[in-house]
């Protein structure tokens, strides 16, 4: 795949979910054993629900897909409701009938397993309000490896919305920028006016570790944004 950026602007979040589901469904139809890096967060949830609908209707088969975990909070006890792996399982893996999961706990084991799989076919990503991808918090350069990180106050604040009444863990493990930028294709989903300024920095500003998402332009990148995020 030749690097290059395509930006599609759609009217609203439901249209974003439709377009994103269609994008991934086409790739799974072409390559049933697709290896997909799977973001959690609110933005891709509509997309995953649309894909689950297709699986239920019998028009899409995801049983050959490998789901690769993008990030996880560090030090959570087994069964903790804040686990991002649990979120990935309930929003993507289980409803889509995906059989194979590459979890992210130990960076070395994760990196080895991904290498054995031949790397990522597709990375599905959201955009952090501070420009992070996964938990590659600013500053993260393009070679940043899979590692444990401290979350920035901004990420702690924005993630608090997911876990009402629970604190947000302060450390996480993230797939590295090197893993993410190695994907053969990347889909970046961006919704809402609160992402407009950072999306513009990521697409129109200089490539900089201060906006880790700016390095996605080095990949074969499809950006799907709604009009609030990309007027
Ligand atoms: P969101 O999270 O999809 O919930 O906005 C994106 C992110 O912080 O990476």
The verdict on the CB of residue 152 being under 6 Å from ligand 1 is: no
Which listed residue (132, 136, 159, 226) is catalytic?
132
Rounded distance from Cα 46 to ligand 1 centre (Å): 13
Question: Quick check: CB of 41 below 6 Å from ligand 1?
Answer: yes
**pLDDT, tens only, 72-115:** 999 898 889 899 999 999 999 999 999 999 999 899 999 999 99
Distance from Cα 168 to the centre of ligand 1, integer Å: 14
Tokens 């789901």 label which residue? 67
Structure confidence at residue 165 as a pLDDT band (50, 70, 90):
confident
Burial class of residue 76 in the structure, from the number of CB atoms within 10 Å of its CB (0-12 exposed, 13-18 middle, 19+ buried): middle
Domain containing residue 169: 5-229
Residue carrying structure tokens 């290059």? 4
Q: What is the pLDDT of residue 1?
A: 52
Q: What is the pTM of this model?
A: 0.97
Characterize the bridge pairing of strands 71-73 and 35-38.
Answer: unpaired
pLDDT at site 101: 98
Q: What pLDDT, on the 0 to 100 scale, is given for residue 2? A: 55
Percent of the chain past pLDDT 90, that is, above it, reads 90
Question: What's the rounded mean pLDDT across residues 181-203?
Answer: 98
Residue 164 belongs to domain with CATH number: 3.40.50.1360
> In which band, very low, low, confident or very high, does the pLDDT at 46 lie, cut at 50, 70 and 90?
very high
- Which of 72, 121, 137, 226 is catalytic? The answer is 137
| C-beta of 186 in contact with ligand 1 (< 6 A) | no
Residues of the chain above pLDDT 70, percent: 99
Tally of structural domains, the chain? 1
Contact yes or no for 40/159 (Cβ under 8 A): no
φ/ψ of residue 14, rounded to 5? -60, -40
- Which residue's CA is minimally distant from atom 7 of ligand 1? 128
Catalytic residue list contains 228: no
Per-residue pLDDT band at 188 (split at 50, 70, 90): very high
Least confident of 2-6, 34-38, 92-96, 151-155: 2-6
């Amino acid at each position: 795949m030749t690097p290059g950026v395509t930006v599609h602007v759609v009217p609203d979040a439901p249209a974003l979910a439709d377009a994103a589901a269609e994008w991934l469904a086409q790739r799974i139809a072409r390559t049933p054993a697709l290896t997909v890096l799977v973001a959690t967060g609110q933005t891709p949830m509509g997309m995953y629900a649309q894909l689950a609908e297709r699986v239920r209707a019998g028009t899409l088969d995801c049983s050959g897909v490998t789901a690769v975990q993008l990030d996880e909070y560090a030090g959570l006890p087994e069964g903790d409701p804040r686990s991002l792996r649990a979120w990935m399982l309930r929003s993507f893996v289980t409803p889509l009938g995906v059989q194979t999961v590459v979890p992210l706990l130990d960076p070395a084991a994760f990196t080895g397993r991904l290498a054995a799989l031949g790397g990522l076919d597709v990375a599905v990503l959201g955009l952090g309000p501070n420009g992070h991808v996964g938990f590659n918090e600013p500053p993260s350069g393009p070679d940043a490896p899979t590692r444990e990180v401290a979350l920035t106050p901004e990420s702690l604040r924005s993630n608090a919305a997911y876990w009402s009444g629970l604190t947000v863990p302060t450390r996480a493990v993230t797939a590295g920028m090197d893993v993410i930028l190695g994907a053969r294709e990347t889909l970046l989903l961006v919704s809402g006016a609160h992402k407009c300024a950072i999306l513009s920095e990521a697409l129109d500003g200089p490539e900089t570790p201060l906006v880790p998402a700016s390095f996605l332009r080095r990949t074969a990148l499809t950006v799907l944004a709604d009009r609030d995020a990309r007027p």
